[in-house]
Structure 1
Amino acid sequence: MVASVANAQAAPAHPPNATAADWIAVAAGSLGALLATLDISITNSALPQIQGQIGAAGTEGTWISTGYLMSEIVMIPLTAWLTRVFGLRNFLITNTLLFTLFSMMCGFSHSLPQMVIGRIGQGFAGGAMIPTAQTIVATRLPRHQMPIGMTMFGLIVLLGPLLGPVVGGWLAENIDWSWCFFLNLPVSIALIGLLLFGLKRDHVDLHQFVNADWLGIVGLTAGLSCLTVVLEEGQRERWFESSMIVWLSVVAACGIAVLLIAQFTAKRPIVRLSLLKNKSYASVIMIVFTVGAGLYGIAYLLPQFLSTVAGYNAEQSGAVMLVSGVPAFIMMPILPRVIGKIDSRILVIAGLACFTASCMADIALTAQSVGHDFFASQLLRGVGQVLAMMPLNQASMAAVSKQEAGDAAGLYNMARNLGGSVGLALIGTFIDRRTTFHDQIIRESVTANSAIGQEHIQASAAGFFASHGDAAFAKLQALGQLAAQIDVQAIVMTYSETFYVLGIALALCVPLAFLLKRPSAGTPSAGH
């Protein structure tokens, strides 16, 4: 009897599993994150129809996307503080209602200012849903089940931007662009129901609101919002040739300086940059910043190539993009077990290697490249994204305590989005300058003294002359055709170089993966 009691005491107790309410809370967080990530990109494919309907000319329509990203990146790091002030349940339900309200405003918009205001409101409300989903997983699930929750969250973050263009393109082509926003209504109703059942009632703590780091909040809001606009609009405005970009850059620099000052003066800074002293967490942030640039960069590059060179519409381009989501669905059942048993550093390195290889597979593009030529690289890219992002989600939470989970989640998601904005700005500048460079080089080689060039023009002119019998017009058509071919070749060469540069940037992140926190011995896996 004594021996059996001793054995019972010596046997390790199996940690309790999450309750049904915990899983409902995780499902609610994941659905909210899907809502937010989907709306980042769902309007991109419907942008031409939206611009035509609301009377936005030229590049004015870019503010529809910029407004969302600008407010979202400000809200993400504020989420941990606002959750402490209003309580998680109150905060998420309020944000869901606001997100729905601003979505309806966008759907009924008849002018650009109305649409941009609606998108800014969507960004504020949606920005809160992404880090809170990660926080719910970190705080509601026991350690041995956390890989399952983090896999759910990671898949949402990956699939949202992939599904957005497909859903938006289909709705714009087959129903109406306004349904890109009206679609949020039934999803939001389901989300509120899950939040009511999954989260406990909580109390408002106005003391934390009054005694907040207001200096840091002002610096964060001014710095990140202006920085996002500079990165998103800089290339279109020719950077510092624009007085708007100059002044926004000054405000952004001042805001970030104020935010840094607040790190030393506030009792509890609004953004806890001190977390970056933890080398494991800092490595996660650096990697996710670069991977964010890769994710957003590919989401921009591939549809642009397919549209400009292959002549695809938004729906067709979205279908090609969705191929990279196939590995995520295939790996979904086994991924939590793999993350629980294999060193996260190995998985991240394998993911970065696959992501790098997928970029290198697209450096041999030609003017004849079409959608199916990207299938292999897209599948490889999907594997790389899953293997890199899923362990990074868990590593970011494993590197900090539960009390720091909210602040860590905000900084993690801010780094991913900021990496995307920086990556898109650099890619836009790179594409613009390298396209001009290649165009000039090709045109210099195809001169009046070029025998090959003259033969090509004469052959083309002969074909046009045979169709209408006007020699002068036939030569003009031949010259126009040659100019168009030069433009296409310059674009193809530039996109190949851009994929190469992205691949190199991702490969340079591999050494950082060795600094990730080694899983503690005896940590139960998801399979136990």
Structure 2
Amino acid sequence: MATGTLPAARAEPRARPANADLSAWLAVAAGTLGALMATLDISIVNSALPTIQGEIGATGTEGAWVATAYLVAEIIIIPLSAWLERLLGLRTFLLIAVSLFTGFSVLCGFANSLVVMIIGRVGQGITGGAMIPTAQTIIAQRLPPHQQSMGTAAFGVVAILGPLIGPLVGGWLAENVSWHYAFFLNVPVSFILILLLVVGLPHQPAKLHLLREADWIGILGLALGMGGLTVFLEEGSREEWFASGLIQQMAALTVVGFILLFYGQFTAKRPVIKLALLLDRQFGSVALMGMALGVVLYGTSYAIPQFLSAIAGYNALQSGQVVLLSGIPSIMLMPFVPLLLRYLDIRIAVLFGMGIMGLSAWMETGLTADSVGSDFTESQLMRGVGQIMGMLFLSQAVVQSVPPEDAGDASGLFNSMRNLGGSFALAGISIVQQNRMWLHSRRLEETLNANSPDVQGYVSGLGQAMGNASAGIRLLGQQIQQQALVMTYNDIFFAMSLVTLAVMPLVLFLRPLPRNASLAGMH
């Protein structure tokens, strides 16, 4: 019987990876919608804040609490999100978060005092902050690897656009309906979100035994430390610092809180925030640059509407349109994200992004009493470019800086550091407004000699124009206050530019990203 060699088996074509089904995309849509709602509410009050302050009886510096309370609450909840997902199951956790977020939004909408508003904003921050990192979890769990870049790109657009369109949406509602609906808007959106969550995410059993493993001391320390530090910074200047019993108590509370937080680092099996990651040269540098990024992002989105309202007489909608300008370059650059990651060195990209952010803030240091929204156009467009470059590459550097098992902790810590930068910016703006406003007013007054013929002639002319000599003096005082306020905002933008300049040398500690690095999410 003749024998022969059998032909080699033909290689089977590699099976095409299965695409995500409809329920998976509904889950991604739910996560993205939740993240949009949460990021939108970070800044939705900024342009309408002058109106809100007037109706709830808050001063300009007290009004900063309406924005700060949300950011501080987010700082506390973001590191806890991964643990809460495991404890309750992702769907149950998100359903609870969305329901509570809706309730706190309604509370903000009905608020008639600063205290009620702050309670509502803290509740919004805690529950809304939980929806942001979970959106990235849904993308990782429900989409196959070859489709995750699509989900991540959608999330990236939301993460950038949310804080930018917030002032525009809030401003439009404040001008055409009522500022209350900036919060009531969340009710129908939450209803849609709950339907998507029920359909798109499977139920997972709760793991209540994890309650015993929680870093309760660290959680308590984080809440006390961040809460106390925020009150200390916000109220310190107004209360004359340690001359006030309240400030003394807040300082003590801050110290106790951070002691508890550090104690948890050494005693808990899994600390609430893994602060040891900051000791890594690259991750520590990324975290500090992320904090500086938060200072400029949240600081400018708060300061620009306040300036335009006080100096140019802009309404909430007009201010929101100016803030939205920085989103245009971000959206235009988003399709090129994969190419940028593949071919652009992270050190060059971050240096360029942070430099543009700092330059955009420096361009706003030459404001005058005649400045209007168009004077912010160039700086806002530049800020959009710097934002996408800085956020994009720093977010990628986070997961590349630590071992895979620490990626979740690193992402939570990075996001908390960026929000912490925003909280410091808002507190710093309040402090600068109080101190520099007084200083510039006194300096301007010192240049005016009451016996000077020029001064007397000017005041007399104002009095004749107003039909009342005393009215001329009052008008001069108002002009002094206006000029002092403009100079104060110039100081604020200059300080932001210095913050970015200070951290730019840290790019030397960054390592190039791997060529095949997967696209990490941004927030």
Aligned to 2:189: 187
Paired letter, 2:428: L
Which deviates more from structure 2 when the two are superposed, residues 190-199 or residues 383-392? 190-199
Q: Partner letter of residue 515 of structure 1?
A: F
Say if 2:385 is the partner of 1:377: no
Q: 1:51-450 counterparts in 2 under 5 A? A: 63-109=65-111, 113-137=115-139, 148-448=150-450, 450=452
Query: Does 2:33 correspond to 1:31?
Result: yes
The residue that corresponds to 1:461 in the other structure is 460
* CA displacement at 1:120 relative to structure 2: 2.7
User: Could you tell me how far apart the structure 1 residues matched to 2:125 and 2:206 are?
Assistant: 23
Q: Secondary structure at the match of 2:431?
A: helix
Gaps of 5+ in 1: none
The answer to whether the 8 A contact 2:342-2:515 is kept is no
Q: Supply the distance in 2 between the matched residues of 1:525 and 1:121 (Cα, whole angstroms).
A: 32
Deviation at residue 478 of structure 1 after TM alignment: 3.5
| Alpha carbons of structure 1 residues 148 and 242: separation in structure 2 relative to 1, 3 Å | farther
Aligned-partner residue type, residue 306 of structure 2? Q
Q: Which amino acid aligns with 1:446?
A: L
Q: Is the contact between residue 288 and residue 392 of structure 1 (CA under 8 Å) also seen in structure 2?
A: yes
The Cα of 1:263 is off from its aligned counterpart by: 0.6
2:484: which partner in 1? 490
Q: RMSD across aligned C-alpha pairs, in angstroms?
A: 3.0
For residue 446 of structure 1, give the secondary structure of its aligned residue in structure 2.
Answer: coil
Note closer, same or farther for the CA distance 1:328–1:93 as it changes in structure 2 (3 Å cut).
same
Q: CA shift at 1:522, angstroms?
A: 4.1
Q: Distance in 2 between matches of 1:236 and 1:155?
A: 39
Query: CA offset at residue 253 of structure 1?
Result: 1.2
Paired residue for 2:509? 515
Structure 1 residues 235 and 214: CA distance shift in structure 2, 3 A: same
* TM, length-normalised to structure 2: 0.88
Once the two structures are TM-superposed, the CA of residue 227 in structure 1 deviates from its matched residue by 2.0
Change (3 A) 1:400 1:141: farther
Query: Which stretch shows the higher mean deviation, 105-114 or 367-376?
Result: 105-114
Cα distance in 2 between the residues matched to 1:176 and 1:220: 36
- Residues 1:500 and 2:494 are matched in the alignment: yes
Q: Write out per-residue CA displacement over residues 152-202 of structure 1, whole angstroms, 9 at most, x where no aligned residue.
A: 334333322222222122212211222112211221122223333443332
- Alpha-carbon displacement from aligned partner over 1:105-157 (angstroms, at most 9, x marks no partner): 33344555544433332222112112222444455566666555444334333
Q: Is the 8 A contact 1:344 1:519 kept in 2?
A: yes
1:2 CA displacement: 4.5
1:275/1:84 CA distance change after superposition, 3 Å: farther
User: Number of residue pairs matched?
Assistant: 514
Displacement, 1:462?
A: 3.5
Q: Residue 508 of structure 1 aligns to a residue in which SS? A: helix
Question: What is the percentage of aligned positions where both structures have the same residue?
Answer: 48
Q: Which moved more, 1:489-498 or 1:55-64?
A: 55-64
In the alignment, the residues of structure 2 paired with residue 514 and residue 499 of structure 1 have an alpha-carbon distance, to the nearest angstrom, of 26
Q: Cα distance 1:118–1:449, how it changes in 2: closer, same or farther (>3 A)?
A: closer
The alpha-carbon deviation at position 458 of structure 1 amounts to 0.7
Report the AA paired with residue 455 of structure 1.
D
Any idea what the Cα deviations from partners look like across 1:6-48, whole Å, max 9, x if unmatched? Answer: xx89x9x998776655544443322212211222222344445
Q: TM-score normalised to the size of structure 1? A: 0.87
Q: 1:17 to 1:230 in 2, by over 3 A?
A: farther
Contact 2:171–2:319, Cα closer than 8 Å, also in 1: no
Write the distance in 2 (CA, Å) between the matches of 1:285 and 1:493. Answer: 31
User: Residues 230 and 456 of structure 1: is their aligned pair in 2 closer, same or farther, counting only changes over 3 Å?
Assistant: same
SS at match of 1:118: helix
Q: Residue 510 of structure 1 aligns to which amino acid in structure 2?
A: M
Q: Which amino acid aligns with 1:465?
A: Q
Give yes or no for contact 2:221–2:261 (8 Å, CA) kept in 1: yes
- Opposite residue 417 of structure 1, the aligned amino acid is N
Does structure 2 conserve the Cα–Cα contact (< 8 Å) formed by 1:147 and 1:337? no
28-37 or 109-118, larger mean C-alpha shift: 109-118
Match of 2:472 in 1: 478
Residues 455-507 of structure 1 show CA distances to partners (whole Å, capped at 9, x for unaligned) of 25414523643664xxxx43x33333333333233332332233222112212
* Larger displacement relative to structure 2 (276-285 or 192-201): 192-201
What is the Cα deviation at residue 54 of structure 1?
5.5
Query: CA–CA distance in 2 between the matches of 1:396 and 1:345?
Result: 14
With over 3 angstroms needed to count, the CA separation of the structure-2 counterparts of 1:47 and 1:368, relative to structure 1, is closer
CA distance 1:174–1:445, change in 2 (3 Å): same
Change (3 A) 1:438 1:64: closer
Contact 1:56 1:112 in 2 (8 A): yes
CA distance in 1 between partners of 2:61 and 2:154 (Å): 36
- Secondary structure class of the residue paired with 2:366: coil
Write the letter of the residue equivalent to 1:392. Answer: L
Change in 2 beyond 3 A, CA 1:383/1:132: same
The superposition leaves residues 343-394 of structure 1 with CA deviations (integer Å, 9 ceiling, x where unpaired) of 3332222211211221222222222111111111111111111111122222
- After superposition, give the CA deviation of every residue in 1:247-291 in whole Å (9 maximum; x if it has no partner): 122111111111101111111112111222333222221111111
Q: Which amino acid aligns with 1:40?
A: I
When residues 433 and 113 of structure 1 are mapped into structure 2, their CA distance, relative to the original with a 3 A threshold, is closer
User: In structure 1, the residue corresponding to 2:360 is in which secondary structure?
Assistant: helix
Over 3 Å counting, the alpha-carbon distance change for 1:208 and 1:372 in structure 2 is same
Distance 1:466 1:166, change over 3 A: closer
Residue segments in structure 2 that go unaligned for 5+ positions in a row? 1-6
Cα contact 1:69–1:228 (8 A) shared by 2 = no
TM-superposed deviation, 1:524: 6.9
Equivalent position of 2:4 in the other structure = none
